[in-house]
Amino acid sequence: MTPLIQSFGLRKSFPLSRSLPQMLRGERPTLMAVDGIDLTIQRGDSVGLVGESGSGKTTVGRLLLRLTPLSGGQLTYAGEHIDRMGPARLRGFRRQAQLVFQNPFDAVNPRFTIRRIVAEPLINLGVPRREHGERVAESLRLVGLAEPQRYLDSLPHQLSGGELQRVVLARALVIGPEFLVADEPVSMLDVSVRAGILNLMRELKQRLALTSFTISHDLTLVRYVCGRTLVMYLGRIVEEGPTEELILRPAHPYTRALVAAVPRPHVEQPRERLPISGAIGSGSDPPSGCRLRARCPYAFARCAQEEPRLVPVAPGHLSACHLHSA
């Protein structure tokens, strides 16, 4: 079956501001935010992308939705090259693929009523007006706002953070998309509210047979909503596998550090020193070989010479580290 999303060597670079000497030398420094990513998402999959700030994860999400043009590689949606879609096809694509934003308060116009906010995609895509009322109400019920009439004429500030995040989700779902990209969907919410949104996302995934791509810095979040997870570091995927396996048996030193670093809500938690030191650098001048090597206690000569490729470490579980073949 044709995967819903497939990419080969997906790249995105951003120009950086040039210094005078760089201008004189005719150099054009760039930041490689996404540097050669192969990705396959089958219909019905829920895939997570985890990384620290600066890893390039948000850029991947924007590429998948064609919100930013790609700089290299290939990207297809249901077998069709995303960058070659014409205006008419793109309109169809915008119905099929939707984005859920990070901060619900930034994602909505504060002067619009909830009715208007949720109807936005219907308006943009020219759905007949008479259908709006019912579809908006239905979408609000779908996200657990059981009495839509109570919300329709409210303004965003009259809602709690959790309710507004549900409204943002209702807006993404109102057009009946098949693919949803969620970028840090709960990071702005209080923990007591976050749990409800995570449960809702789990439930919707099953009920609507959605294909989803969830971007987060938080492994605990992807664990609740994603069957498979990719770990990104400075523009590259360093590990991918079934989410539970990745958390229980992380293979890459970076993933091992990510798992160990998450504080747990009990006192008997691991407190040993993290294997990874320092902080993520900038993608403008990545080191030769493995991008993690300066922070990695296991680095050896080969890590500086050769960039490790993703190799299988278990069925469906890949990791890009020279330790696996040493």
Which residue of 44, 196, 227, 289 would you call a contact of another protein, by CB under 8 A?
Answer: 196
- Contact call for residue 262 and another protein (CB under 8 A): yes
- Looking up tokens 């001048």 gives 285
Tell the smallest beta-carbon distance from residue 114 to another protein (Å): 16
Which residue of 137, 257, 290, 313 would you call a contact of another protein, by CB under 8 A?
Answer: 257
- Contact call for residue 269 and another protein (CB under 8 A): yes
β-strand 30-41 against 5-15: which pairing, if any? antiparallel
- Contact call for residue 101 and another protein (CB under 8 A): no
Query: DSSP readout, 177-189?
Result: -SEEEEESTTTTS
- Contact call for residue 221 and another protein (CB under 8 A): yes
Which residue of 16, 18, 30, 52 would you call a contact of another protein, by CB under 8 A?
Answer: 52
By rule CB under 8 A, what count of residues binds another protein? 43
Which residue of 194, 252, 293, 317 would you call a contact of another protein, by CB under 8 A?
Answer: 194
User: CA triplet 257, 306, 7: central angle to 5 degrees?
Assistant: 75
- Contact call for residue 192 and another protein (CB under 8 A): yes
Stretches 20-28, 37-45, 84-92, 192-200: which one binds another protein (CB under 8 A)? 192-200
- Looking up tokens 């990070």 gives 102
- Contact call for residue 224 and another protein (CB under 8 A): yes
Q: How many residues does the chain have?
A: 326
Which residue of 67, 209, 261, 311 would you call a contact of another protein, by CB under 8 A?
Answer: 261
Query: How many angstroms separate the CA atoms of 184 and 151, rounded?
Result: 24
Q: How many CA atoms lie within 13 A of 321 on its CB side?
A: 24
β-strand 211-216 against 179-183: which pairing, if any? parallel
CB 161 within 8 A of CB 190: yes
- Contact call for residue 265 and another protein (CB under 8 A): yes
Tell the smallest beta-carbon distance from residue 165 to another protein (Å): 12
The CB-based long-range contact list for 94-97 (8 Å cut-off, 24+ gap) reads: 94/121, 94/124, 94/125, 95/121, 95/125, 95/175, 95/176, 95/177, 96/177, 96/178, 96/179, 97/64, 97/65, 97/177, 97/178, 97/179, 97/180, 97/181
Which residue of 33, 37, 137, 258 would you call a contact of another protein, by CB under 8 A?
Answer: 258
Stretches 102-110, 112-120, 158-166, 173-181: which one binds another protein (CB under 8 A)? 158-166
- Contact call for residue 271 and another protein (CB under 8 A): yes
Residue 52, both tokens:
């620290």
- Contact call for residue 152 and another protein (CB under 8 A): no
State the burial class of residue 225 (Cβ atoms within 10 Å of its Cβ: 0-12, 13-18, 19+): buried
- Contact call for residue 191 and another protein (CB under 8 A): yes
- Contact call for residue 157 and another protein (CB under 8 A): no
For another protein, the binding residues (CB under 8 A) are 52-53, 160-162, 190-196, 198-199, 202, 217-221, 223-224, 244, 247, 257-267, 269, 271, 273-274, 276-277, 279-280
